[in-house]
Structure 1
């Protein structure tokens, strides 16, 4: 059974709305309102109205969408270091998590440029 991307998106909105949360997914630039037949459609329409009213750039800052995107990217990078913690003991698992975060922070620091003021 194939699921189109439109039905997957509708299911995402439905799942988020059924849990009582507000979806923070930017609508496409040419998005049209959906028929308000379900909680997910109503939530998407509200997001679309806010995006149209504020503009995409202001909506993005207002909804803190870039922060969400950065968090998702960071979690993805941590998962690239390994899907599971291998230690059995809780304290060792905690240490293993700290080591992964330290590695990620070190790699991030290597790619960060340092700007200095020129007199």
Structure 2
């Protein structure tokens, strides 16, 4: 509670009353319990009353306004130990609905023109399920375009990046090469060997993958390189939609981006609390 109120420098104009930590905590409750802004305000007031803490609570309108300018996600910092091992990451994207009809109406009567989606891009650690980067874009932005901004803020050393065939593009491989990251990306079904300007075959990991797939087949190649580990990206998407739903409650793009950051931060906190362990049931 010591960081509840704003304690930064005071300037002319409207003064902030509540700190960013206070607003972020309120928005985290809103996301975790799928509440509206007024419900969030009421929940916080009730919690403080139970705890017998007499402090002011940000109103629903303040939460909405402050959400637009909040930097709510910070990539996990690497330990100070110099012996830290490089991590293996997985990347994928999924669609989140902003507004539009339900799935039953679409299947029964077709989609309306006003359906709007945003694309969520996540980079997660395949070993710990920790989210290291999150971006929210319009649905017209391709997956490959987001590799550079996603990798820009990751502080950990990265050994491998696993992704699906949508990332089989030159700019993706070039960006991974800059960071000394080994790509684990399946070439497309019609993939050809990349050549230099003079027609010679390039020494490139993608060309090696194309040759190996032609030799043993795509299924055997995926098994050899451990491509199945990429499914951890699907796990992250599944957890996101099961916990927070498939919709974004915010309407402004800036607020939607903050909402995505808040949810990614919450998901990392849930991960640190513990992941479920799947145990095979013995026959009785």
Contact 1:33–1:48 (Cα < 8 Å) also in 2: yes
Higher fraction of strand: 2
* Counterpart for residue 275 of structure 2: 101
- Give aligned pairs, total: 99
**Match in the other structure for 1:74:** 235
CA deviation after TM superposition for structure 1 residue 72, in Å:
0.9
- 1:17 Cα deviation from its structure 2 partner: 2.1
1:51 correspondence with 2:216 = no
What is the distance in 2 between the residues matched to 1:16 and 1:30? 22
Runs of 5+ consecutive residues of structure 1 not aligned to the other structure:
87-92
Contact 1:78 1:100 in 2 (8 A): no
Q: What value does the CA root-mean-square deviation take over the aligned residues?
A: 3.8
Q: Deviations over 1:32-68 (max 9, x none)?
A: 111247xx98221122112212221110100111122
Confirm whether residue 83 of structure 1 aligns to residue 264 of structure 2. yes
Asked if 1:29 corresponds to 2:195, the answer is: no
Task: Report if the CA contact (8 A) 1:27-1:47 is conserved.
Answer: yes
Measured after TM superposition, the shift of residue 6 of structure 1 is 8.7
Question: What runs of 5+ residues in structure 2 fail to find an aligned partner?
Answer: 1-139, 146-166, 244-262
Q: Point out which structure has higher relative CO (alpha carbons under 8 A, 6+ apart).
A: 2
Q: Which residue of 1 aligns with 2:68?
A: none
- Bigger Cα Rg: 2
| Deviation sequence 1:47-93 (CA, Å, 0-9, x none) | 2112212221110100111122x11111222333332229xxxxxx7
State the alpha-carbon separation in 2 of the partners of residues 4 and 25 from structure 1.
Answer: 16
Q: Larger helix proportion, structure 1 or 2?
A: 1
TM-score between the two structures when normalised by the length of structure 1: 0.58
Q: Is the 8 A contact 1:14 1:41 kept in 2?
A: no
Q: TM-score, length-normalised on structure 2?
A: 0.28
